[in-house]
Amino acid sequence: MRFTTVHARILLALIIAFCIPVIAAIAADDAVDWDQAPPSVIHQKLWEGKVASRIEKNFVANYALNEADVTQTNYDVLFYDIFIRVNDTTEILYGDVKFVALAAEDGVTSVQVDFYDNMIVDSIIAPSGELGYTRSNNVVTVIIDATYNTGEQFEFDFYYHGHPTEGGFQAFSFDIYNGVKMISSLSEPYFARTWWPCKDRMDDKADSFNIAIEVDTTYYVASNGTLDSTVISSANTHTFYYSVRYPMVTYLFSVAIHAYTVWYDEWVYNSGQDTMPIVNAVFPLFYTYSLPRYGITPQALTIFSDQYGLYPFTQEKYGHANFTWGGGMEHQTMTSMAGSSFGFSEPVVVHELSHQWWGDMITCESWQDIWLNEGWASYSEALYYLEKDGWASYHDYMNDMASSSGGTSGGTIYIQDTTDVWGIFSARSYDKGAWVVHMLRGVLGDSLFFEGVHSYYNSQYQYASATTEDFKNVFEAATGVELDWFFDEWIHGEYRPNYNWSYWSEVSDSTGYDVYVYVEQIQTTNPQVFIMPVDFYVTGPNDTLTLQVDKRRTRFKLNFPVDVTGMSLDPMNWVLKYETQQLWHMHIITLNDELDNGVQYLSYKDSLDYRGGTGPYTWTIDSGSLPSGYSLDNRGIISGVTPDTGYFTFTVALNDMGTGYTDVAEYTIYIAPGAYVPGDVDGNGVVNVADLTYLVAYMFSGGPAPGEINSADVDGSCDINVNDITYLVSYLFGGGPDPLAGCVSK
């Protein structure tokens, strides 16, 4: 649907956009039809917008080292009351951040606050008076005013000022757009601390915020939550007062300050039972352009509320604020969007909105689990098009993300190195992460999948943070399906399966047609075997079957009332894969469950079968071993008698000497304990002189036959005669060899 001849021009425009200044980049964006761009290209621009020109690996590496010295688990932040005065001329921030927190352990006398060391701490004051503090490695250790035990509340105000750091790790910018100051923040992943003091981590969301931003009267301030009032503060400034009454992680607190054109929409849901304002703060040049584009928001809110659960912040708002960063950023209740055509495109609007569920309401607890944010948001784009345009559009959209989903480049979706921000935000998190959600839906089916989604939405992680393991556990509990295998191969494994497959059809010996399907996974990457249910559409019978492909080489036997005229693997693309249909060379067709098990001491005979090739053929044991006494001949017949018991796993190889092609198949034979002991002619469980007497009586005096006739064929000659008596005498009295399993025909 989406890959067209214009995509070369789109990619060229992207290259240009990241190599020239902001205004030129905006112009390049505006020349691209982002509504029709491939999602992989859209997502690349989204993640590059979060990291390009502002993230330095050495800073993040140092941050990670410093984290070893940070012990912030001794307190739990309840509330931030934030006041920031922004001087747009001097570009200085003057702030007061009140911390209200609980001690999370006994004996708390100090707490650590993240705050970048170029910013100036003016004072830290508790209700009891001024507090002492120390600074080290961008951490301020506050000596609180008493000793607090678990559950006891304390508070202090943190006064500061300074110009937020710029360059390779900038999170707060003073830019110019169309001749007017454009002031905004983007703190993901590690950078809230560069412009306000906080406990900058995802596993401790403050329950609520008050936000007050004082700016020149020229500007409007877009921020999180509900705008309670705008108050004149001085002759030239006014203050915007916002309240956030839902938990929020630090990196989602934002400001966007500009001489915006602000317009309003409304979302009406549940037949009017739920209504909510939508606030759009747009660059004046884009006002008319924004009306239909941000106008899709009510429909998208309804789609996601229907599919996932009610929009999580209905008591506040949703909205958009243009800024000069690239891409978009899912700031809670007020997404920041690039001030170019990209920031108004339908997929980007939908992507950032869906983050309000996955990323904002439930936040990944660690950057290792970023796919829980970005993979879900990318998948939500496809879900939106499914509900809007139907299944064909959905599958086309997912297929557009397949090429960038870890086929030729390695690495796990689970982020191993969180000091590499380019590794956190990448195609693996966005596109392959979306495919994980898509495949999970395919594995579970719609009913169970949405049971899992709704359970996750309503789980203990609502308005909190979750790990991949938490997510998996919720889905397992909701669906009753064990999913370790799925997450092991798709989240912690790399690449994707590569299937070579073929089929053979013939008239059945019983009824209809027997069809043999052979699937080989030929990837050499990790994992070498993916376990996946795979659909096969069979033309002729016109039926779709789901087969569990779970080995390096998997073979299936099917039966249909009519002949097969064609077959396709995974026609709806529910599996991220490569696949090649091949002509049927020559393959072993005997399935493992078609091979008979054996019984100790009893004669065994079964045969392996194949189809195709030119011959001659040779059968060999490729690995493992048969039970002792069993052999495989060149006709594929396994036969013999064994004293062994238990399970025996082995691999056979069939070589077609005419073509040089070799097929292998793995089998397991179970040998059950025998019904008799060789030489135990009287059947009492032991071999002794009574068995010799019993055998003589049977042979010469008309005595009864042994219960198991082969117990008397002690020399294994396949006949019972005087030689067996001699053999048994030698065993009992002369140190002769053990009795053998008999082979008398019955």
Which pair of structure tokens corresponds to residue 476? 């397992």
Of 584, 603, 634, the last residue of a domain is 584
- Is residue 284 reached through a cis peptide bond, with omega within 30 degrees of 0 on the bond before it? no
The pLDDT > 90 percentage for the chain reads 77
Of 672, 698, 732, the last residue of a domain is 672
Residue type (1 letter), 464? A
Neighbouring CB atoms inside 10 A of 226's CB total 17
Mean pLDDT along residues 78-103: 98
Supply the DSSP symbol for 739. Answer: P
- Together in a domain, 580 and 610: no
Backbone CA torsion sign across 344, 348, 354, 360: negative
> Is the CB of residue 143 less than 8 Å from the CB of residue 132?
yes
pLDDT in tens, 277-308: 999 999 999 999 999 999 999 999 999 999 99
- The per-residue pLDDT of the chain, averaged, comes to 91
The pLDDT > 70 percentage for the chain reads 92
Lowest mean pLDDT among 381-395, 425-439, 558-572, 681-695: 681-695
Q: In the chain, what are the helix, strand and coil shares in percent, each to the nearest 5?
A: 25, 35, 40
608 has a pLDDT exceeding 70? yes
- Together in a domain, 277 and 223: yes
What's the confidence (pLDDT) of residue 49? 75
What's the confidence (pLDDT) of residue 3? 35
pLDDT band at 48 (very low <50, low <70, confident <90, very high): confident
| Residue 700 placed within a domain | yes
CA gap 460, 307 in Å, rounded: 19
> Is the CB of residue 369 less than 8 Å from the CB of residue 459?
no
CA gap 46, 203 in Å, rounded: 24
- Together in a domain, 452 and 578: no
Neighbouring CB atoms inside 10 A of 235's CB total 6
CA-angle at 742, arms to 739 and 746, nearest 5°: 155
pLDDT in tens, 522-549: 999 889 999 999 999 999 999 999 999 9
CA gap 136, 68 in Å, rounded: 13
- Together in a domain, 219 and 130: yes
pLDDT in tens, 449-487: 999 999 999 999 999 999 999 999 999 999 999 999 999
Which has the closest alpha carbon to 100: 144, 135, 137?
A: 144
- Together in a domain, 266 and 125: yes
In sequence order, which residues have a C-beta less than 8 Å from that of residue 564 and are 6 or more positions away?
503, 505, 513, 515, 538, 539, 540, 541
- Together in a domain, 465 and 530: no
- Domain hosting residue 509, numbered range: 498-584
Backbone CA torsion sign across 305, 310, 313, 317: positive
Q: What is the CATH number of the domain that holds 263?
A: 2.60.40.1730
Q: What is the CATH number of the domain that holds 667?
A: 2.60.40.10
Residue type (1 letter), 718? C
- Together in a domain, 421 and 478: yes
Supply the DSSP symbol for 519. Answer: E
pLDDT in tens, 107-159: 999 999 999 999 999 999 999 999 999 999 899 999 999 999 999 999 999 99
422 has a pLDDT exceeding 90? no
| Residue 112 placed within a domain | yes
CA gap 202, 199 in Å, rounded: 9
Q: At what angle do helices 346-354 and 287-294 cross, to 10 degrees?
A: 60
CA gap 393, 399 in Å, rounded: 10
Which has the closest alpha carbon to 201: 36, 64, 315, 304?
A: 64
The two beta strands, 543-549 and 532-539, are antiparallel
> Is the CB of residue 496 less than 8 Å from the CB of residue 521?
no
- Together in a domain, 634 and 685: no
Lowest mean pLDDT among 49-58, 156-165, 398-407, 488-497: 49-58
> Is the CB of residue 432 less than 8 Å from the CB of residue 413?
yes
Neighbouring CB atoms inside 10 A of 153's CB total 12
| Residue 347 placed within a domain | no
| Residue 736 placed within a domain | yes
What's the confidence (pLDDT) of residue 28? 53
Entry field: residues in the chain: 746
Of 621, 641, 672, the last residue of a domain is 672
7 has a pLDDT exceeding 50? no
619 has a pLDDT exceeding 50? yes
pLDDT band at 18 (very low <50, low <70, confident <90, very high): very low
The domain tally of the chain equals 5
What's the confidence (pLDDT) of residue 746? 63
What's the confidence (pLDDT) of residue 209? 98
Which has the closest alpha carbon to 210: 251, 238, 242, 185?
A: 242
Mean pLDDT along residues 679-692: 88
What's the confidence (pLDDT) of residue 30? 61
The two beta strands, 139-148 and 153-162, are unpaired
- φ/ψ region of 505 (left if φ > 0, alpha if ψ in -120 to 50, else beta) reads beta
22 has a pLDDT exceeding 50? no
- Together in a domain, 436 and 457: yes
- Number of helices (H) and strands (E), helices first, in the chain? 17, 38
| Residue 151 placed within a domain | yes
What's the confidence (pLDDT) of residue 603? 87
The two beta strands, 220-223 and 208-216, are unpaired
